[in-house]
Amino acid sequence: MVYTELTLPVNALRDEIDGTVIIPGDGDYDAARMAWNLAVDQYPALILIAESAADVAAGVRYARSHDLGIAIQSTGHGVLLPANDCLLIMTSHLSAVSVDAASQTAWVEAGVLWGAVLEQAQAVGLAPLLGSSSGVGAVGYTLGGGMGWLARKYGLAVDSVLEFEVVTADGQIVCASETEHSDLFWALRGGAKGALGVVTGMRIRLYEVTTVYGGSLIYSLADAREVFAFYREWIQYLPEEWTTSISIMNFPPMPELPPFLSGQSVVMVNGCYVGDAHLGQMMVQALPDWKQPIANTFHPMPFIESDTISNDPMDPMPASVSGGWLTDLSDETVETLLAYATPDKVVKAEIRYAGGAIARVNDAANAYDHRSSTLLLEAVGMTPTPEAVTQFRQHIAAFKQALQPHMTGGVYMNFLDGPDAHDQTANAFSAKKYQRLGEIKAKYDPENRFRFGYRIPTSTEA
Ligand SMILES: Cc1cc2nc3c(=O)[nH]c(=O)nc-3n(C[C@H](O)[C@H](O)[C@H](O)COP(=O)(O)OP(=O)(O)OC[C@H]3O[C@@H](n4cnc5c(N)ncnc54)[C@H](O)[C@@H]3O)c2cc1C
């Protein structure tokens, strides 16, 4: 059913909330339905821009009484199913952040970008476990795991959550923590993004990090095989203070890029060392000593500048992403990466080296899974049209088929998007964890009101 052609009675909802309700035909509908990822084209039946958890709860009750599904977005960086014919709850105005230096914690509302948390935390010598871009939503990133430049030292963002405030499918505002609604807390930590309720805020741990040694070594693609072989050995000896990745980058021609990158294909080794800059410098020096890179941007930097390690795009763009856990970086794996990470289809094929503190957390502690996997592939393509999305998905299917002997079969949900991600949810978990998620789904959202996030059948369906 296309609700966009229907008129839902929204006046009572408008009267009840402080936020804004936008329906098809309103002048601001097209602007409001836009996601950061411009490849997302969605037509919600109504959009609720919430100003408080109470607004969210009113929206959820409204969706129940009109039998609507509920999608949740803060920035639109990681949309799974587009929010068609449903209530889209936008959390972007829930923007409060408060850092408590004494307890080294922060309260972060659902619409907050990592940059705002980073700024307040760095002002008192602390850091959150953000990812490669401070423009990403803190809550959406955390619900998917959250693997950033401090991951091997301090773990995943999801392991540093102390509590969530959640609006559940019955329209109640509850606290989920180790002591309250502990099953919901278990599931939300990595297992149920967008599928169990609307997280309106979270309390997280912060860490004492001020200066790091970070940057990139950039090599010509012609050196790729040697650089990958070196990287494979090098990471075996790196302490957990180092979090690193290796990427094949196919830069489009762009005037804002330096000439040695614009329109060029290169191999980049990115990294961040949390500790004494001199020690970090000594440990990374092995690579340029072995082979002179085109550029070496490693330097001591305030952690607030950590965006400059990856230089991810900040402005909205049309992109698609896919990936999965690799078993190895053998020569055969590298050949397949080189054969499929071609400039016509893939902008970036990055392998992040995980492990460390991520793997030390007890597997049963929360829903996040595949902790012992260490090599994570993320492939990104530019997909400005629906045809380009289809071509990317087809190419990735062939890419993964060729890589299949070197993949564990597991996926990391933050590095998947679109319907593909929704469909692959089961591959992010062991059968046992997926079964438990189904049981928790049956308890908290038996009508599958939250059906635009992870795909979690109730235990009966499973
Ligand atoms: C440039 C870029 C860099 C990135 N870097 C990293 C990285 O270093 N490490 C990493 O792990 N990931 C990274 N990601 C992936 C990112 O963490 C996910 O895309 C994440 O889902 C984005 O969250 P968001 O709220 O900004 O996006 P949105 O698209 O607004 O939300 C994504 C999904 O999360 C769910 N959701 C959002 N808010 C809520 C809420 N309040 N309650 C319940 N469900 C909610 C919804 O299902 C929604 O569809 C990156 C993505 C991009 C585009």
One domain, residues 217 and 343: yes
**Residue 64 placed within a domain:** yes
* Strands in 364-404 per DSSP E: 375-382
One domain, residues 19 and 105: no
Query: Each residue of 407-420: pLDDT tens digit?
Result: 999 999 999 998 88
One domain, residues 371 and 241: yes
Q: CB–CB of 290/230 below 8 Å?
A: yes
Whether 1 has a pLDDT exceeding 90, the answer reads: no
> Which of 72, 89, 114, 174 to mutate for ligand 1's pocket (most ligand atoms within 8 Å of CB)?
72
Q: Enumerate the β-bridge partners of residue 454.
A: none
Q: Which atom of ligand 1 is nearest to the CA of 412?
A: 11
Whether 105 has a pLDDT exceeding 70, the answer reads: yes
Residues 356-360, mean pLDDT to the nearest whole number: 98
Residue nearest to atom 3 of ligand 1 (CA): 133
One domain, residues 201 and 268: no
pLDDT class of 427 with cuts at 50, 70, 90: very high
Residue nearest to atom 44 of ligand 1 (CA): 194
One domain, residues 439 and 294: no
Whether 399 has a pLDDT exceeding 90, the answer reads: yes
One domain, residues 175 and 304: no
Whether 3 has a pLDDT exceeding 70, the answer reads: no
Q: What percent of the chain has pLDDT over 70?
A: 98
Whether 5 has a pLDDT exceeding 70, the answer reads: no
Q: Which atom of ligand 1 is nearest to the CA of 157?
A: 11
**Residue 460 placed within a domain:** no
User: What is the Å distance from ligand 1's center to 55 Cα?
Assistant: 22
Q: Which atom of ligand 1 is nearest to the CA of 314?
A: 1
User: Of 35, 55, 90, which residue constitutes the final position of a domain?
Assistant: 90
Total-model pTM: 0.97
Residues 292-307, mean pLDDT to the nearest whole number: 97
Which residues, judged by CB distance below 6 Å to any ligand atom, belong to the binding site of ligand 1?
A: 72-80, 91, 110, 131-133, 136-137, 139-141, 143-148, 193-194, 198-199, 312, 414, 452-453
> Which of 143, 416, 451 to mutate for ligand 1's pocket (most ligand atoms within 8 Å of CB)?
143
pLDDT number for residue 461: 53
> Which of 37, 73, 161 to mutate for ligand 1's pocket (most ligand atoms within 8 Å of CB)?
73
CATH number at residue 243: 3.40.462.20
**Owning domain of residue 102:** 97-208+431-444
Whether 126 has a pLDDT exceeding 50, the answer reads: yes
The structure tokens listed for 133 are: 């871009």
Q: Which atom of ligand 1 is nearest to the CA of 78?
A: 19
The Cα 396–Cα 184 span in angstroms is: 34
One domain, residues 260 and 380: yes
How many domains would you assign to the chain? 3
**Residue 53 placed within a domain:** yes
User: Of 66, 90, 114, which residue constitutes the final position of a domain?
Assistant: 90
Query: Each residue of 32-90: pLDDT tens digit?
Result: 999 999 999 999 999 999 999 999 999 999 999 999 999 999 999 999 999 999 999 99
User: Of 65, 90, 115, which residue constitutes the final position of a domain?
Assistant: 90
One domain, residues 200 and 215: no
pLDDT number for residue 8: 78
Q: CB–CB of 416/323 below 8 Å?
A: yes
Mean pLDDT of the residues in the chain: 96
One domain, residues 191 and 217: no
Q: CB–CB of 326/374 below 8 Å?
A: no
CATH number at residue 70: 3.30.43.10
CATH number at residue 198: 3.30.465.10
pLDDT class of 6 with cuts at 50, 70, 90: low
**Residue 189 placed within a domain:** yes
**Residue 450 placed within a domain:** no
* Residue 265 buriedness (CB in 10 A; 0-12 / 13-18 / 19+): middle
One domain, residues 61 and 178: no
